[in-house]
């Protein structure tokens, strides 16, 4: 998107120190701002050489700007050049924004102190330099909306005349009638199709007479949006309407483009490519055809070549469409259409930011037509010249509108339509994003919504895209299907996957969709079918998919599988262990092996022996510990081993200024051994553990993560062995050395844990024998940055672990504080914050003081929470002392009736009922 196409764009000057991280930050911010299409951006070091002296050059651009934003790291301060730019901007009374970073220097810079005193400019402080770009971007966009809301006119009056000055436009103007570009774009019917279920129609809307072409364009849009199956006669009729009674080169070109469109929507990509190659040859050879048309055809060729490559599981390095674009002197643009697309993006930005800054006393009604009209007009223009890419990209543009609408409105129909569009577009990453962002809304989906989406997929003519979309839908949303619909789809998708695994000419792009389908639905798919598919992967030696197969295996509970299926999987692992099957070691192999060995009913002695031979380190350090319960191994041995490793790390960490990060913390492993398995520590080992923990806490060179792990274990031991250990000396030490014990080395490049989180955890432990810590804890919780989701998650997890360790609560003040803190974050926008807040509420429901309020909010979460939140509640419901409580009964009943299969499954499993 080019900001040059926007009338009167806001001009932004980015000021900072040059070089290094600043250059990266400035370039990133420039890219983000330009992508909105609403601003022009100036970054001095990106400009070409000039005959002017350097200072005059960049200060002149300050003069021409409307807004200046300054990026300052407190550690570096503001260099003279930045101060010159600031002085000039103030002299010109420009709008000023400042972003300061205090990552390595907390003391404010003089520039920041000056702003505080004057109160005439706005600034924000970030705590990590990596956040400076996103914060700056948000600040600029909010300031832009402030300009709109106050109806100021900071924009220059000179209009961009790029469209008029581009070569070829004059040629196009001569042929407006031929290309069917009239003042009336005939988009009304298309607009109605785009907004059919969104904007109410006036009673007289249908009284207006519509042309044949309008109706045809509307029907073709339904095909593009997968609302109806493709009908070849529609394209033929559109072509006839546009080229009727005309006979010239432009007409011949349009006929070739419509022929290509007809082949494209029929999934005949080779035929489509032939028509496009004829079309671009005609366009290049004719002086009557403007160069931008040739570029647009080249873009279609590039897109269709990608479709052909997908079918052949290959990549064409020298893509003919891209090759033409690289050699063309003409910039890529699309007259008329670009203007409408730019208008659409501008309206999206205005709608979003105006809604974000709206007063709580303001009611906003309507305005959605301004979002959809530019899109409907862009579609009509693209379809009238037979452009494939500009036509099908309507889905992407419509998705952008729905993403914005779903962000600011909670509406079921909006959400379903957004998911439908993302599924037909195979936009896996964006689906994952909205599942996380809108997770609270996801669980309002039901089998009727799924049926609507499936019906859309059945309109596809391209089998590849249809099957990928079906796998994607069931992989991401399979739990919202009823049993009948799921079983029907399951049979279709499993049969197709089996054929794919045996086909020498398989389309490799299917792989991620197929494996995600199996991984996400192991509870619902017949284990026989899952095992057959996995065995087919190994039988056909598809080594590139072994890792994905292990991801499936590690999700299966083999205790429910028939002996025959267990033997088949045993054979796979035995073949790998004995070297008969080539397999590179990876985490998924080890986790799948452990899962199988822990849940199988088969005798695994032979496999155990082979694993010990081939993977001795893995066998000794991991496998034996995981299998200890099954093999009745003494856990004390493992506790001692990990304790010795913790002592070794105490000696090595920080030596010579070198710090090491570890995939696991020794104290976490010990904690898991003690809490999961019934292990009691003898007095000597207990003393040894406590002494080693104190040694870890006293080490100034130990990492924050290691100290947090040590505190968690010490907290568990304190409450579990309170009567069996003399704590007076330890308590005295911990109070006297609190500052040292609660401070560690922050590995900020690899870990997000900070000393703030560590000190909170430490003070929480000390509160058991030092009530004065209550006020400190309360202050820390109230000072938390609510936008720092990671810190909230860690604090909530610490609180949940603490509550789980309590035997008899004595600190009622803290309990009530934790209750209200958890309630306030149980509706947080971040999925994991809500989850850990729920865990805290579950723990609080076991105490008489907080039980009632906790249960009330847990019951509400059974309506509004995500399925992971509901499962957490259901699976821990037995922890509550009063099983006859009405709230508990209601929670269970809600679990039984939930839309999500997993919630119903866990409810049935925990309460021994059928689903």
- pLDDT (mean) for 744-756: 85
Over the stretch 180-208, which tens digit does the pLDDT of each residue have? 444 456 788 998 898 887 776 655 555 56
- pLDDT (mean) for 344-363: 75
Over the stretch 143-178, which tens digit does the pLDDT of each residue have? 777 654 443 332 233 333 333 333 333 333 334 344
Over the stretch 410-425, which tens digit does the pLDDT of each residue have? 788 888 999 999 999 9
As a whole number of angstroms, the distance between CA 187 and CA 873 comes to 51
Coil, strand or helix at 13: strand
Distance (Å) of CA 351 to CA 78, 199, 361: 36, 16, 17
Tell me the range of 130-144, 235-249, 526-540, 737-751 where mean pLDDT is highest: 526-540
For 36-168, where are the alpha helices, taking DSSP H only? 54-64, 80-91, 110-118, 132-149, 162-165
Indicate the average pLDDT of the chain. Answer: 85
Strand order in the sheet with 10-16: 39-42, 10-16, 67-73, 95-101, 122-126
Q: What pLDDT is recorded for position 888?
A: 86
Q: What pLDDT is recorded for position 748?
A: 73
For 185-290, where are the alpha helices, taking DSSP H only? 188-194, 212-224, 232-243, 249-265, 269-285
- pLDDT (mean) for 2-21: 72
* Band (33; pLDDT cuts 50, 70, 90): confident
- What stretch of H or E contains 789? helix 789-805
Q: What pLDDT is recorded for position 118?
A: 59
pLDDT beyond 90 at 749: no
- pLDDT (mean) for 295-308: 94
- pLDDT (mean) for 534-561: 94
pLDDT beyond 80 at 913: no
* Band (810; pLDDT cuts 50, 70, 90): confident
Which of 89-93, 454-458, 461-465, 553-557 is predicted least confidently? Answer: 89-93
- Residue 404: how many other CB atoms lie within 10 Å: 17
Coil, strand or helix at 868: helix
pLDDT beyond 90 at 512: yes
Coil, strand or helix at 191: helix
pLDDT beyond 70 at 431: yes
- pLDDT (mean) for 877-905: 83
Q: What pLDDT is recorded for position 204?
A: 55
Which tokens belong to 799? 């609180």
User: Percentage of the chain surpassing pLDDT 90?
Assistant: 46
User: Rounded to a whole number, what is the distance in angstroms from the first to the last CA of the chain?
Assistant: 52
What are the beta bridge partners of residue 39?
10
- pLDDT (mean) for 826-837: 88
Q: What pLDDT is recorded for position 172?
A: 38
CA 563 remoteness from chain centre: 40
Which of 266-275, 363-372, 574-583 is predicted least confidently? Answer: 363-372
Q: What pLDDT is recorded for position 185?
A: 67
Q: What pLDDT is recorded for position 476?
A: 95
As a whole number of angstroms, the distance between CA 145 and CA 518 comes to 46
Sign of the torsion formed by the C-alpha atoms of 887, 890, 894 and 895: positive
Distance (Å) of CA 95 to CA 25, 78, 342, 502, 877: 21, 19, 25, 65, 56
Backbone phi, then psi, for 68, in 5-degree steps?
A: -120, 135
- pLDDT (mean) for 666-677: 90
CA 303 remoteness from chain centre: 26
The answer to whether 193 and 358 are in contact (CB under 8 A) is no
pLDDT beyond 90 at 716: yes
Q: What pLDDT is recorded for position 83?
A: 78
* Band (649; pLDDT cuts 50, 70, 90): very high
More confident residue, 452 or 8: 452
CA 644 remoteness from chain centre: 40
* Band (508; pLDDT cuts 50, 70, 90): very high
Which tokens belong to 157? 């009056």
Over the stretch 379-397, which tens digit does the pLDDT of each residue have? 999 999 999 999 999 999 9
Close Cβ partners of 226 (under 8 Å, ≥ 6 residues apart): 420, 424, 456, 457, 459, 460
* Band (538; pLDDT cuts 50, 70, 90): very high
Q: What pLDDT is recorded for position 308?
A: 94
Close Cβ partners of 234 (under 8 Å, ≥ 6 residues apart): 216, 219, 220, 223
Q: What pLDDT is recorded for position 175?
A: 42
As a whole number of angstroms, the distance between CA 374 and CA 346 comes to 10
DSSP for residue 200 = P
Coil, strand or helix at 365: coil
* Band (629; pLDDT cuts 50, 70, 90): confident
- What stretch of H or E contains 813? helix 812-825
Backbone phi, then psi, for 41, in 5-degree steps?
A: -125, 135
Coil, strand or helix at 729: helix
């Amino acid at each position: 998107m080019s900001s040059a196409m926007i009338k009167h764009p806001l001009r932004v000057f980015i000021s900072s120190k040059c070089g290094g991280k600043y250059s990266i930050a400035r370039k990133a911010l420039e890219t983000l701002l330009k992508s909105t299409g609403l601003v022009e951006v100036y970054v001095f070091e990106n400009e070409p050489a000039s005959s002017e002296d350097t200072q005059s050059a960049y200060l002149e651009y300050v003069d021409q700007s409307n807004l200046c934003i300054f990026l300052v790291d407190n550690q570096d301060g503001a260099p003279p050049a930045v101060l010159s730019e600031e002085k000039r901007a103030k002299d010109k009374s420009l709008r000023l924004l400042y972003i300061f970073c205090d990552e390595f220097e907390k003391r404010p810079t003089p520039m920041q102190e000056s702003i505080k005193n004057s109160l005439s400019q706005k600034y924000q402080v970030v705590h990590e330099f990596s956040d400076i770009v996103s914060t700056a971007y948000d600040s600029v966009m909010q300031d832009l909306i402030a300009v709109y809301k106050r109806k100021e006119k900071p924009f220059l009056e000179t209009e961009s005349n790029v469209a008029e000055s581009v070569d070829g436009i004059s040629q196009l103007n001569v042929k407006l009638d031929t290309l069917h570009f009239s003042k009336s774009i005939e988009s009304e019917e298309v607009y109605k199709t785009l907004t059919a279920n969104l904007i109410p129609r006036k009673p007289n809307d249908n009284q207006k007479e519509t042309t044949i072409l309008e109706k045809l364009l509307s029907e073709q849009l339904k095909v593009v949006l997968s609302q109806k199956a493709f009908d070849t006669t529609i394209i033929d009729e559109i072509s006839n309407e546009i080229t009727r009674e005309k006979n010239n080169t432009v007409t011949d070109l349009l006929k070739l483009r419509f022929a290509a469109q007809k082949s494209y929507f029929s999934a005949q990509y080779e035929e489509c490519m032939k028509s496009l190659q004829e079309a671009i040859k005609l366009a290049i050879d004719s002086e009557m055809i403007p160069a931008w048309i040739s570029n647009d055809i080249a873009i279609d060729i590039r897109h269709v070549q990608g479709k052909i490559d997908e079918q052949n599981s290959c990549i064409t390095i020298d893509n003919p469409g891209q090759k033409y674009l690289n050699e063309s002197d003409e910039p890529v643009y699309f007259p008329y259409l670009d203007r409408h697309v730019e208008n659409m993006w501008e309206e999206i930005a205005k709608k979003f930011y105006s809604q974000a800054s709206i007063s709580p006393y303001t009611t906003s009604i309507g305005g959605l037509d301004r979002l959809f009209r530019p899109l409907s007009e862009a579609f009509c223009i693209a379809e009238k010249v037979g452009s494939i890419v500009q036509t099908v990209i309507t889905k992407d543009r419509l998705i952008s509108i729905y993403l914005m609408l779903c962000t600011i409105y909670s509406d079921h129909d909006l959400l379903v339509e957004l998911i439908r569009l993302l599924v037909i577009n195979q936009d896996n990453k964006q689906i994952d994003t909205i599942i996380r962002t809108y997770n609270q809304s996801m669980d309002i989906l039901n089998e009727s919504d799924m049926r609507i989406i499936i019906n859309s997929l059945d309109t596809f003519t391209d089998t590849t895209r249809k099957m990928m979309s079906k796998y994607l839908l069931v992989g991401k949303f399979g739990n919202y299907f009823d049993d009948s619909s799921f079983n029907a789809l399951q049979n279709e998708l499993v049969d197709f996957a089996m054929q794919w695994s045996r086909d020498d000419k398989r389309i490799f792009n299917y792989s991620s969709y197929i494996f995600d389908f199996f991984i996400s639905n192991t509870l619902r798919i017949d284990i026989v079918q899952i095992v057959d598919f996995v065995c087919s992967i190994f039988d056909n030696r598809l080594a590139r998919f072994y890792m994905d197969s292990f991801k499936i295996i590690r999700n299966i509970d083999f205790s429910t599988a028939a002996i025959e299926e267990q033997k088949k999987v045993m054979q796979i692992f035995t073949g790998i262990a004995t070297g008969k099957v080539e397999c590179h070691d990876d985490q998924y192999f080890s986790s799948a092996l452990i899962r199988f060995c822990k849940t199988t009913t088969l005798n695994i002695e032979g496999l155990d022996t082979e694993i010990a031979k081939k993977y001795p380190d893995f066998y000794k350090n991991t496998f034996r510990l995981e299998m200890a319960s099954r093999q009745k191994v003494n856990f004390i041995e493992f506790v001692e081993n990990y304790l010795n490793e913790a002592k070794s790390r105490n000696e090595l960490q920080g030596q010579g200024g070198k710090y090491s990060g570890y995939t696991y913390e020794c104290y976490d492993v010990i904690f898991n051994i003690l809490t999961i398995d019934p292990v009691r520590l003898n007095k000597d080992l207990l003393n040894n553990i406590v002494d080693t923990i104190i040694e870890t806490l006293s080490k100034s060179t130990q990492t924050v993560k290691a100290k947090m792990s040590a505190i968690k274990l010490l907290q568990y031991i304190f409450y579990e062995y309170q009567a069996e250990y003399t704590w007076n000396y330890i308590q005295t030490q911990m109070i006297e050395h609190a500052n040292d014990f609660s401070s560690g080395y922050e590995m900020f490049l690899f870990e997000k844990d900070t000393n703030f989180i560590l000190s909170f955890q430490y003070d929480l432990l000390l509160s058991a024998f030092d009530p004065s810590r209550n006020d400190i804890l309360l202050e820390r919780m109230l000072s938390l940055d609510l936008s720092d989701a990671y810190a909230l998650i860690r604090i909530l997890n610490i609180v949940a672990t603490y509550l789980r360790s309590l035997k008899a609560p004595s600190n009622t003040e803290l309990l009530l504080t934790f209750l209200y803190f958890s309630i306030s974050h149980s509706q947080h926008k971040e999925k994991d914050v809500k989850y850990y807040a729920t865990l805290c509420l579950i723990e609080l429901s076991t105490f008489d003081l907080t039980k009632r309020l906790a249960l009330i909010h847990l019951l509400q979460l059974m309506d509004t929470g995500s399925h992971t939140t509901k499962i957490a509640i259901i699976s821990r419901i037995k922890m509550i002392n009063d099983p006859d409580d009405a709230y508990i009964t209601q929670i269970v009943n809600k679990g039984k009736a939930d839309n999500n299969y997993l919630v119903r499954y866990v409810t049935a499993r925990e309460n021994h009922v059928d689903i």
